[in-house]
Amino acid sequence: GAVVSQHPSWVICKSGTSVKIECRSLDFQATTMFWYRQFPKQSLMLMATSNEGSKATYEQGVEKDKFLINHASLTLSTLTVTSAHPEDSSFYICSAMTGLRMSYGYTFGSGTRLTVV
Protein backbone atom coordinates (compact mmCIF):
# COMPACT_ATOMS: atom_id res chain seq x y z
CA GLY A 1 0.00 0.00 0.00
CA ALA A 2 0.89 3.66 -0.18
CA VAL A 3 3.44 4.75 2.40
CA VAL A 4 4.40 8.20 3.54
CA SER A 5 7.68 8.43 5.39
CA GLN A 6 8.21 11.35 7.74
CA HIS A 7 11.55 12.22 9.27
CA PRO A 8 12.63 12.84 11.96
CA SER A 9 10.24 11.16 14.37
CA TRP A 10 11.24 13.50 17.14
CA VAL A 11 13.56 16.44 17.52
CA ILE A 12 14.64 18.72 20.33
CA CYS A 13 16.05 22.09 19.41
CA LYS A 14 17.04 25.32 21.08
CA SER A 15 14.99 28.49 20.81
CA GLY A 16 15.94 30.53 17.80
CA THR A 17 17.16 27.66 15.68
CA SER A 18 15.44 26.20 12.63
CA VAL A 19 14.21 22.66 12.16
CA LYS A 20 13.44 20.88 8.90
CA ILE A 21 10.90 18.06 8.69
CA GLU A 22 10.76 15.85 5.61
CA CYS A 23 7.77 14.05 4.18
CA ARG A 24 8.29 11.49 1.41
CA SER A 25 5.84 9.42 -0.56
CA LEU A 26 7.65 6.12 -1.01
CA ASP A 27 5.72 4.28 -3.67
CA PHE A 28 3.51 6.86 -5.28
CA GLN A 29 3.70 10.37 -6.59
CA ALA A 30 2.06 13.07 -4.54
CA THR A 31 1.42 16.32 -6.33
CA THR A 32 -0.27 17.60 -3.20
CA MET A 33 0.75 17.09 0.39
CA PHE A 34 -0.75 18.52 3.53
CA TRP A 35 0.90 19.65 6.73
CA TYR A 36 -0.97 19.42 10.03
CA ARG A 37 -0.20 20.37 13.56
CA GLN A 38 -1.65 18.55 16.54
CA PHE A 39 -1.75 19.80 20.11
CA PRO A 40 -2.17 17.34 22.97
CA LYS A 41 -5.66 15.85 23.10
CA GLN A 42 -6.76 17.99 20.20
CA SER A 43 -7.47 17.30 16.59
CA LEU A 44 -5.32 17.95 13.59
CA MET A 45 -5.12 21.51 12.46
CA LEU A 46 -4.40 21.99 8.79
CA MET A 47 -1.50 24.39 8.43
CA ALA A 48 -0.91 24.42 4.70
CA THR A 49 -1.37 22.61 1.43
CA SER A 50 1.86 21.91 -0.38
CA ASN A 51 1.75 21.74 -4.17
CA GLU A 52 4.60 20.36 -6.24
CA GLY A 53 6.35 23.07 -8.18
CA SER A 54 4.36 25.96 -6.80
CA LYS A 55 3.88 27.97 -3.64
CA ALA A 56 2.13 26.41 -0.71
CA THR A 57 -1.33 27.55 0.32
CA TYR A 58 -1.42 28.50 3.98
CA GLU A 59 -4.47 28.41 6.24
CA GLN A 60 -5.58 31.57 7.95
CA GLY A 61 -3.46 32.41 10.95
CA VAL A 62 -0.45 30.34 9.90
CA GLU A 63 2.68 32.43 9.38
CA LYS A 64 4.17 31.53 6.04
CA ASP A 65 7.51 33.12 6.89
CA LYS A 66 7.77 31.00 10.00
CA PHE A 67 6.65 27.71 8.53
CA LEU A 68 8.46 27.40 5.22
CA ILE A 69 7.18 24.71 2.90
CA ASN A 70 9.03 23.40 -0.12
CA HIS A 71 7.64 20.78 -2.48
CA ALA A 72 10.37 20.46 -5.07
CA SER A 73 9.56 16.99 -6.34
CA LEU A 74 6.61 14.65 -6.66
CA THR A 75 7.80 12.60 -3.72
CA LEU A 76 9.18 15.11 -1.24
CA SER A 77 7.77 18.00 0.73
CA THR A 78 9.61 19.74 3.56
CA LEU A 79 8.42 21.92 6.40
CA THR A 80 10.98 24.19 8.03
CA VAL A 81 10.13 25.77 11.35
CA THR A 82 12.27 28.91 11.42
CA SER A 83 13.43 30.67 14.57
CA ALA A 84 11.62 28.12 16.69
CA HIS A 85 10.09 29.11 20.01
CA PRO A 86 8.75 26.91 22.82
CA GLU A 87 5.18 27.58 21.68
CA ASP A 88 6.06 25.87 18.40
CA SER A 89 6.46 22.62 20.31
CA SER A 90 3.87 20.29 18.90
CA PHE A 91 3.26 17.15 16.88
CA TYR A 92 3.53 17.81 13.15
CA ILE A 93 2.03 15.35 10.67
CA CYS A 94 2.11 15.34 6.90
CA SER A 95 -0.25 13.55 4.56
CA ALA A 96 -0.71 12.94 0.87
CA MET A 97 -3.77 12.00 -1.09
CA THR A 98 -3.49 8.37 -2.07
CA GLY A 99 -4.34 8.07 -5.72
CA LEU A 100 -6.54 10.29 -7.80
CA ARG A 101 -9.80 9.53 -6.05
CA MET A 102 -10.82 11.05 -2.76
CA SER A 103 -12.27 7.74 -1.65
CA TYR A 104 -8.73 6.50 -1.22
CA GLY A 105 -8.34 8.93 1.62
CA TYR A 106 -5.12 10.36 2.76
CA THR A 107 -2.00 8.50 3.80
CA PHE A 108 -0.34 10.02 6.81
CA GLY A 109 3.23 10.08 7.94
CA SER A 110 4.05 8.88 11.43
CA GLY A 111 4.49 12.42 12.68
CA THR A 112 7.32 14.48 14.13
CA ARG A 113 7.31 15.53 17.76
CA LEU A 114 9.09 18.86 18.03
CA THR A 115 10.22 20.13 21.39
CA VAL A 116 11.76 23.59 21.55
CA VAL A 117 13.71 24.32 24.72
Partner 1 sequence: GEDVEQSLFLSVREGDSSVINCTYTDSSSTYLYWYKQEPGAGLQLLTYIFSNMDMKQDQRLTVLLNKKDKHLSLRIADTQTGDSAIYFCAESIRDGGFKTIFGAGTRLFVKA
C-alpha dihedral sign at 57, 107, 71, 41: positive
Question: Rg of the Cα trace of the chain?
Answer: 13
Distance CA 42, CA 1 (A): 28
Task: Considering only the C-alpha atoms of the chain, give the largest distance between any 2 of them, rounded to a whole number of Å.
Answer: 41
**Of 15, 18, 42, 73, which one interacts with partner 1 (CB under 8 A)?**
42
**Of 60, 65, 100, 103, which one interacts with partner 1 (CB under 8 A)?**
103
Identity of the residue, 45 or 74, whose beta carbon is nearer to partner 1 in the bound complex: 45
For partner 1, the binding residues in 18-37 under the rule CB under 8 A are 34
Question: Binding mask 61-100 vs partner 1 (x if CB under 8 A, - otherwise)?
Answer: --------------------------------x-x-----
CB of 13 to partner 1, least distance (A): 19
Beta strands in 1-117 (DSSP E): 4-7, 10-13, 19-25, 32-38, 44-51, 57-58, 67-73, 76-81, 90-97, 106-108, 112-116
* Chain residues that interact with partner 1, rule: CB under 8 A: 4, 6, 9, 34, 41-44, 46, 49, 93, 95, 102-103, 105-111, 113
